[in-house]
């Protein structure tokens, strides 16, 4: 009896091992079929060899580049999303910006939901607004240039400035901080005497005339101190240039944009920027890029109802506020009404980028839930970078698992 029991037990072990091997072989065969199917998939990706990147050039999107990369001719004009049951052209779900339905095709690239990468649109703002991500840089740049003539508060021939440019060659990112430290104590624009060059030629000494010609042509006016109050900037003068001048004013983004626009390319390089990739006036938004539909897909609820993304809700607020500002300007509304519209447009554009600004009320849904802005989607552990794009937390690490087998002791 014992021998027969041993034989039957051995047969069971052999049969179990054979079954496990058969299961493994079948699984391997299925995987090889799946791999073969995957290898036969035809994609539209280019087969051209890609050159290895050597460096990355960061910059700011200028208004011309935003218009050039946009597929919405004339910009996004309507806050409405659908018209007669279909996505509206010129609306926030413009079919030229991509598709989020399995049955639709993109009107720009003719791709379906898996093939179309999405395309940007744009929105022409009635007035410039500050980019909330660059507000600190805007204040520093304002303190480096003249409020009236947009020239540097210190002459480019100054030996300290020349040393700064030499020391930061190859690393212009730190240059703005050094130039700011040099200019922040200046209360007057240098080179104001250069305006009287005709008088100098008439009766001044040759040495004095030469000295005045060496200046960089500043206006010689007193400069205000720039401070930030919430999403606004104020300019306050200690010494007035004219008797009729106000001592303190609110500095609009339109005025700052005009100051930055008149800074020469040479002085843009001196303060650490590249006029080809990042001009100071681009830190004020005049043309807002509208992200493609795949970045802000609508969630299908029960039936045919759709719940729009937080970014789409915020973009809708911007389009409505912008349209109201245009109407009030065309109808000749009072100055304080237009100023209130600009203030509201600034708030919506700021909370689109960052909805967690200290001292600023958060943008909310009707339910009271704060909207998730672009910055909140990218940062932190749960953001796109660390949460989705990064594969592992530590290199050269792996996960090991122990799986029980029948023949393991």
pLDDT, tens only, 265-307: 999 998 889 899 999 999 999 999 999 998 888 887 666 667 8
Q: Are 219 and 149 in contact (CB under 8 A)?
A: yes
Q: How far is CA 120 from the centre of its chain?
A: 13
Q: Say if strands 299-300 and 284-290 run parallel, antiparallel, or are unpaired.
A: unpaired
Phi, psi of 343 (to 5 degrees): -65, -40
Q: What pLDDT sits at residue 20?
A: 46
First to last CA, the chain: 26
Model confidence pLDDT, tens digit, residues 111-122: 888 888 899 999
Strand order in the sheet with 225-229: 225-229, 232-236, 248-251
> What is the secondary structure of 8-52 as a DSSP string?
HHHHHHHHHHHHHHHHHHHHHHHHHHHHHHHHT-------SPPPP
* Helix, strand or coil, per DSSP, at residue 202: helix
Neighbours of 183 (CB within 10 A): 20
CA distance 106 to 286: 28
DSSP character string of 97-160? G---SSS---TTT---TTT-----EEEEEEEEEE-GGGHHHHHHHHTTB-TTT--BSS-TT-HH
pLDDT computed for residue 139 by the predictor:
93
User: Over pLDDT 90: what percentage of the chain?
Assistant: 29
Average pLDDT, the chain: 79
- Within 10 A of 226 (CB to CB), how many other CB atoms are there? 18
Count of beta carbons in the 10 Å neighbourhood of residue 181: 13
What percent of the chain has pLDDT above 70? 77
Q: Write down the pLDDT at residue 316.
A: 92
The most confident of the ranges 182-191, 203-212, 364-373 is: 364-373
Distance CA(347)–CA(345), nearest Å, equals 5
Mean pLDDT of 363-376: 88
Mean pLDDT value across residues 23-44: 46
CB-based contact 234:249 (threshold 8 Å): yes
Assess whether pLDDT exceeds 60 at residue 9: no
218, 211 Cβ separation under 8 angstroms = no
Dihedral through CA 122, CA 128, CA 133, CA 134, nearest 10? 130
Specify the pLDDT at position 201.
Answer: 38
- For 290, phi then psi, to 5°, come to -100, 115
Interval 310-361: pLDDT, tens: 899 999 999 999 999 999 999 988 999 999 999 999 999 999 999 888 888 9
């Amino acid at each position: 009896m014992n021998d027969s029991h041993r034989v039957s037990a051995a047969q069971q072990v052999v049969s179990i091992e054979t079954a496990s091997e058969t299961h493994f072989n079948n699984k391997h065969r299925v995987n090889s079929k799946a791999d073969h199917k995957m290898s036969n998939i035809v994609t539209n990706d280019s087969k051209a060899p890609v050159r290895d990147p050597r460096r990355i050039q960061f910059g700011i999107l200028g208004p011309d580049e935003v218009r050039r990369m946009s597929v919405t001719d004339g910009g996004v004009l309507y806050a409405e999303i659908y018209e007669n049951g279909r996505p509206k052209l010129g609306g926030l779900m413009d079919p030229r910006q991509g598709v989020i339905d399995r049955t639709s095709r993109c009107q720009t690239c003719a791709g379906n939901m898996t093939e179309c990468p999405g395309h940007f649109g744009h929105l022409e703002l009635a007035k410039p607004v500050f980019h909330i991500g660059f507000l600190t840089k805007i204040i520093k740049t304002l303190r480096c240039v003249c409020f009236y003539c947009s020239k540097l508060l210190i002459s480019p021939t100054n030996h300290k400035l020349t040393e700064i440019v030499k020391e930061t060659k190859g690393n212009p990112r730190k240059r703005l901080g050094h130039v700011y430290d040099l200019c922040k104590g200046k209360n007057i624009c240098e080179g104001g005497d250069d305006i009287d060059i005709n008088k100098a030629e008439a009766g001044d000494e040759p040495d004095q005339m030469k000295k005045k010609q060496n200046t960089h042509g500043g206006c010689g006016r007193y400069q205000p101190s720039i401070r930030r109050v919430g999403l606004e900037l104020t300019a306050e003068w200690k010494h007035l240039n004219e008797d009729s001048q106000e001592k303190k004013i609110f500095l609009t983004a339109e005025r700052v944009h005009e100051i930055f626009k008149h800074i020469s390319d040479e002085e843009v390089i001196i303060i650490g920027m590249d006029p080809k990739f990042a001009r100071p006036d681009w830190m004020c938004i005049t043309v807002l890029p509208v992200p493609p539909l795949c970045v802000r897909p609508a969630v299908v609820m029960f039936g045919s109802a759709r719940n729009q993304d937080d970014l789409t809700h915020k973009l809708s607020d911007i389009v409505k506020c912008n349209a109201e500002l245009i109407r009030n300007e065309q109808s000749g509304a009072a100055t304080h009404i237009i100023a209130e519209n600009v203030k509201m447009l600034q708030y919506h554009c700021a909370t689109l980028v960052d909805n967690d600004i200290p001292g600023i009320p958060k943008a909310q849904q009707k339910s009271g839930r704060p909207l998730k802005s672009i910055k909140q989607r990218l940062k932190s552990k749960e953001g796109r970078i660390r949460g989705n794009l990064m594969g592992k937390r530590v290199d050269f690490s792996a996960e090991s698992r122990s799986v029980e087998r029948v023949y393991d002791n």
